[in-house]
Amino acid sequence: MARLRRSRYSDGMMLPLLLLALAAASPSPRDAAGNQLEPLKPAAEQAARLCTGDQRWCAGIDDDSATLSVFTGPTGAAVASVELEQDEDETLAVWPQMARLAAPGAGVLIGVERRRSASYSGGGGGTTVLELIQVWPDRSRPPRSVLTLPLKGEIMIRACFSKQDFADRKGACQDIYTFDATLTLAPETASGPPKFQFATLAKAFPPKASRGTPTPSLKRLKKSELVPTPDLACSYRRVLAFDPKSQTYRPDSPLPDCDDYTTP
């Protein structure tokens, strides 16, 4: 799971519930233990840095060196600089949220969005994977990667290769796969590291679409199939808890294989 190269200082729930979880405009920003999930916004003094509302924590990524730096403020010194592994087709961005940990000296969880895209004849798409990295404010330990999850996907595959295909599919000449996920705090956590709620919603258009199925088998679509349809196998909800043995977050049950939606 870990994607850090080094530190410079050394099965599914019911669909209505998933829809509610993804649509929640204001999830609880704090759990009972005092861990807090808060937004990061561009700093007026340093637009390249994203900061908490109180300006206590800021983060930014140097694109040239693929280095994540965490700062004590919009113009403050770095408390950690982490060189990130980066694939050739990846772009990196700071996740615009941060988990501030309640335990004394525990620091924060900073997120890195790993975005990938691909294009091919008649189609293409992009996906985003989230990596959470724990950073300590006193440099007492090197930053560590604690969680990696799929966050977003949109894939389009060419589906018409003739006039007959166009007619049979009623002009719907692309298979489309979308995936959206939310990561929020589990508010009932009363002590220790935060737990997270992870909810996903995957949709396929048409509903029969599968990247492992030859497109010609999806001919003669009905009007009722000309709408994106939730894929219940890849629309799920999990609770993620910190595992002291592995020093990473683990889901309460395994995540399904949803490569159709999360691999460009």
In tens digits, the chain (264 residues) has pLDDT values of 445 554 443 344 445 444 444 444 445 589 999 999 999 999 887 778 999 999 999 999 999 999 999 998 888 888 899 999 998 889 999 999 999 999 998 899 999 999 999 887 778 999 999 999 999 987 778 999 999 999 999 999 888 888 988 888 888 888 899 999 999 999 999 999 999 999 999 999 888 777 776 555 556 788 788 888 899 999 999 999 999 999 999 999 999 999 999 998
- Residue 262 CA, chain-centre distance (Å), reads 10
Collapse the DSSP code of 107 into the 3-class scheme (helix H, G, I; strand E, B; otherwise coil) and give the result.
coil
Both tokens assigned to 86 = 């980066």
State the pLDDT at residue 210: 78
- C-alpha span between 249 and 264 (Å, rounded): 25
State the pLDDT at residue 21: 47
Question: Comparing C-alpha atoms, which of 15, 20, 255, 23 is closest to residue 150?
Answer: 255
Half-sphere exposure of 80 (CA within 13 A, CB side): 28
Both tokens assigned to 12 = 């599914």
State the pLDDT at residue 89: 86
The alpha helices in 5-97, defined as continuous H runs, are: 15-23
State the pLDDT at residue 28: 59
State the pLDDT at residue 177: 94
Show me where the domains of the chain are located. 4-262
State the pLDDT at residue 228: 87
Count of positions (residues) in the chain: 264
State the pLDDT at residue 172: 86
State the pLDDT at residue 36: 96
By the 8 A CB rule, do 208 and 225 touch?
A: yes
Both tokens assigned to 38 = 């808060």
- The reported pTM is 0.85
State the pLDDT at residue 213: 66
By the 8 A CB rule, do 98 and 109 touch?
A: yes
Q: In this structure, what are the phi and psi dihedrals at residue 70, rounded to the nearest 5 degrees?
A: -115, 130
At 245, which helix (H) or strand (E)?
none
Q: What is the pairing mode between strands 123-135 and 108-120?
A: antiparallel
- C-alpha span between 195 and 54 (Å, rounded): 24
State the pLDDT at residue 44: 81
C-alpha to C-alpha distances, 237 to 17, 84, 101, nearest whole angstrom:
9, 29, 23
By the 8 A CB rule, do 59 and 98 touch?
A: yes
